[in-house]
């Protein structure tokens, strides 16, 4: 739900479908980061065709479900070929997340398309069984807002591949863009690729970097996640993004690992 007003152009109200796994009161990182992407996409760009090649998000605080949210944006640089845009998600006087997007002008140069070796397409999603994240505390949340099908690997092994898509739009009554769909899914990479016992350990990502060389065609996003969790309480996840045509980008997430509180 949204309304006009406040410091941002709009005020947003989350639903229970944004709920994350570690607290019933806070959101999963996917919907808020997609909301930042939406604000960046809607900025005026002087008629220049631009492609968002990177979004880096710093998740500063847990993002509440109950509080109204606003997004403010700032153009950091507006060059001939590269624009850098900052966006902040705020609630009241608190900054909850900040993002910087790099957007590059689109120009047809007639370059030959050469695909690198070593990356096979994911198993067709029609052949993949359904999956639901098992570590959410509440019956309704991000996990029920997403459709997931396992393409390869096993949950808890440290590497798993899956197809994902949102079941509901990011903003009610509005079509979700391809970039927004990517951001909704991207933050789930380290959940897919976890090697930890989720009954004993939580893993929160304080950041998210999405690097793209094209956008997905179709609703489904292929995600091949691999996670390295260190005994010193931190880790990293790298997720390869693809669609039916092949690769389209990568995701990096840091991890803060801690015992689950009973």
Residue 30: the pLDDT is 97
Residue 46: the pLDDT is 73
Residue 47: the pLDDT is 77
Residue 120: the pLDDT is 73
Residue 109: the pLDDT is 79
Residue 96: the pLDDT is 97
Domain boundaries, the chain: 2-106+124-259
Residue 236: the pLDDT is 97
HEC string for the chain = CEEECCCCCEEECCCHHHECCCCCCEECCHHHHHHHHHHHHCCCCCCCCEEEEEEEEEECCCCECCCCEEEEEEEEEECCCEEEEEEEEEECCEEEEEEEEEEEECCCCCCCCCCCCCCCCCCCHHHCCEECCCCCCCCCCHHHHEEEEEEEECCCCCEEEEEEEECCCCCCCCCCCHHHHHHHHHCCHHHHCCCCCCCCEEEECCEEEEEECCCCCCCCEEEEEEEEECCCCEEEEEEEEEECCEEEEEEEEEEEEEECCC
Residue 117: the pLDDT is 62
pLDDT in tens, 121-140: 899 999 999 999 999 989 99
pLDDT in tens, 198-231: 999 999 999 999 999 999 999 999 999 999 999 9
Domain 2-106+124-259 indexed as CATH 2.40.160.210:
yes
Tell me the pTM.
0.92
Residue 262: the pLDDT is 66
Residue 147: the pLDDT is 97
Residue 70: the pLDDT is 96
- Say how far apart CA 97 and CA 184 lie, in whole Å: 15
Residues of the chain with pLDDT under 50: 1, 3, 5
């Amino acid at each position: 739900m949204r309304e006009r007003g406040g410091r941002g152009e709009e005020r947003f109200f989350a639903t229970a479908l944004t709920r994350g796994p570690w607290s019933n009161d806070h959101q999963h990182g996917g919907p808020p980061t997609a909301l930042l992407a939406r604000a960046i996409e809607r900025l005026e760009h002087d008629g220049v065709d631009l492609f968002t090649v990177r979004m880096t998000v710093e998740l500063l605080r847990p993002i509440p479900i109950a509080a109204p949210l606003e997004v403010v944006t700032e153009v950091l640089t507006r060059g001939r070929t590269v624009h850098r845009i900052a966006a902040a998600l705020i609630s009241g006087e608190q900054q909850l997340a900040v993002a910087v997007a790099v957007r590059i002008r689109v120009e047809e140069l007639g370059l030959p398309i050469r695909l690198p070796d070593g990356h096979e397409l994911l198993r067709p999603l029609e052949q993949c069984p359904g999956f639901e994240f098992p570590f959410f505390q509440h019956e309704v949340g991000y996990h029920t807002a997403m459709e997931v099908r396992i393409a390869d690997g096993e949950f808890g092994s440290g590497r798993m591949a899956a197809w994902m898509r949102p079941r509901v739009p990011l903003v009610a009554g509005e079509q979700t863009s391809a970039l927004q769909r990517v951001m909704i899914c991207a933050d789930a990479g380290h959940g897919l690729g976890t090697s930890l016992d989720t009954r004993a350990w939580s893993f929160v990502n304080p950041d998210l970097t999405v690097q793209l060389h094209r956008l997905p065609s179709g609703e489904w996003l292929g995600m091949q996640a691999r996670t390295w969790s260190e005994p010193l309480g931190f880790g990293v996840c790298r997720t390869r993004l693809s669609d039916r045509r092949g690769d389209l980008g990568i995701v990096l997430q840091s991890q803060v690992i801690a015992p689950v509180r009973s």
